[in-house]
Structure formats: structure tokens, C-alpha cells
Amino acid sequence: MTDTTSTLTTAPLTIAVIGAGGKMGMRVSNNLVKTAHTVFYSEASPTGQDRVRETGRVITDTADAIKNADVVILAVPDVVLGAVSETVVPDLRPGTIVLTLDPAAAYAGLLMQRADIEYAVAHPCHPSVFLERRTDEEYADTFGGIAAPQEVVAALESENEAARAVAEAVITIIYAPVIKVHWVTVRQLAVLEPTLVETVACMIGALLKEALEETVNTVGVPREAARAMLWGHTSIALTNALRESNPFSDACLIAMDYGRETLIKDDWKKIFEPEQLDLVIKRMLKIDAIRR
């Protein structure tokens, strides 16, 4: 775990953003443009190119953007990361850091490999549900990367400490403001995303929405009343369960047991087994096999 509240220093870098007109490409570019680093923006789609140009940034052909890059950020969808890496990696200088923004493709072994290239992956945690927001800008920044502080989890496939320092400096910029960067293995990062936060947390979030709609549309509870009850109790449930702020009442524990018996399969923890991680990532990337 690295505390990035202290200033990270590095020499001026040349950074290429591939996919600069996509959702994440725009987000990271909006932060990179504020720095003194030399940044090149590459985008293949005409719509994405228009978005980049609307910000006043200049589009550069990929071959020129990566030519002298110290760090190449592949801000493209996971399903095309493998193909994009095959067009980019062969032309990189030795020692260049290839930074991806999601662990699935790296875990699956889809990125083109070169022994003289460094590979890093970093995924934002997003601002915590327990974050003490103090400004309107922080309240508005639910995703992170604008005003609300967040943590980041990252992995570097080698043990090159110099490369890690450079990668961390860039990671701290693209996801700013960053509280901490936590360094783990690629597999551990893949367990965090998708298993912990998408398979479990995001699924539960969607289930809460379904439960709200059922309460309103089937039972007939006024929407505002149902929403107020759900939002408030979701907050206290997370506080009690994750921070142990207060104990659940005895009656609540009984209702929780009923919910677990009714909704949760007894073998649900199998999702943390290696073969299940491989299964969900194959589905996400629409591939037949994990290649690592």
C-alpha cells in the first residue's frame, strides 16, 4: 500500500492515450491535460475524434503518438484490448509502460507480450460510500476523477520498482484526486473486479432497484415513501455491516436470516474459486479460453 498524499515526483514524461475519445479516455485525458507532461491523444472513431477536438485537444495518429512514449494508456474496451495491443506493442521503445484500466484482459493473457515492455493495470475504487464530502463538487462527483477523493488498486507484472514509481505517478494523475494506490497482483485485482465489486456489489445494487420497483408497482407503496425508506436503510445497513457502527436488532437479524435463506444459494462463495473467476472473465470478454 502506497500513501500518495505525499508528492510523487518524476521527470517529465511523454504519455500516449489510445482511445482518447471514449468514456475513460476522456476522463483520464481531462486530468492529464492539467499537467506539464507531454501527452498525445489517439482515437480511431470519428465520433470520438470529434469529442477530443471539442476540448481543444489535437488528435495524433497512433504510430506517432506512441513513438517516443514513456507510458501508453490503452483506454479502450476490454473486448478489443488484445487486438489494440497487437498494433501498439511491437512499435514501442524498450522499457515503455503499457497501462490498462481494467484487469480482465491482463488476467486473461490477451495483451501482446514483449519481455522488454512493462505492463501495469490500475482500476479506480471510486469515491467511498463513507467518504465525508465537503463541497458541492465532491457531492456531484460520484464516479471519481474530478473532485471527490478516491483510492486506486493497481498491479505491475514485473518487480521493476522504477517502473512502478512512474506508473504510480501517472495513475495518481489520471484518477485524481487520489488518496492511496494499493499494489496487488493481477489475479488479486481480477478477484476485486469483477468478483467482489461487480459479481457481488453491483449485482446487489441492481437487486435493490428491482426490489424498489416491486414494492412500488406490485405492492402499491408510494414511490417517494419506498425510496426514502430504502435509501436510508441501505445507508445504515452498510454502516452497520461494513463499519460495525451499530448492531442490527434481534428482529432485523431474524429477517436477514429469512432473506439469506430465500435469496442466497448455499454455495454462493464458489465465485471466489479460480475456475469461477475464469468463467466470468471469459463471459465478459467473449472469449473461449483464458490464455495466461
pLDDT in tens, 156-169: 999 999 999 999 99
Mean pLDDT of 66-75: 97
Q: How far apart are CA 283 and CA 112, in angstroms?
A: 20
pLDDT at residue 177 tops 90: yes
Q: pLDDT-derived band of residue 10, with 50, 70 and 90 as boundaries?
A: low
Q: pLDDT-derived band of residue 11, with 50, 70 and 90 as boundaries?
A: confident
pLDDT at residue 8 tops 60: no
Torsion sign, CA atoms 165, 6, 12, 103: positive
Between 3.30.450.40, 1.10.3640.10, 1.10.10.10, 3.40.50.300, what CATH number should domain 193-285 receive? 1.10.3640.10
Torsion sign, CA atoms 63, 65, 66, 67: positive
- How confident is the model at residue 1, as a pLDDT? 40
pTM of the model: 0.92
What are the sequence ranges of the domains in the chain? 2-184, 193-285
Q: Which amino acid makes up residue 68? A: N
pLDDT at residue 15 tops 50: yes
Between 3.60.21.10, 3.40.50.720, 3.40.50.150, 3.10.20.30, what CATH number should domain 2-184 receive? 3.40.50.720
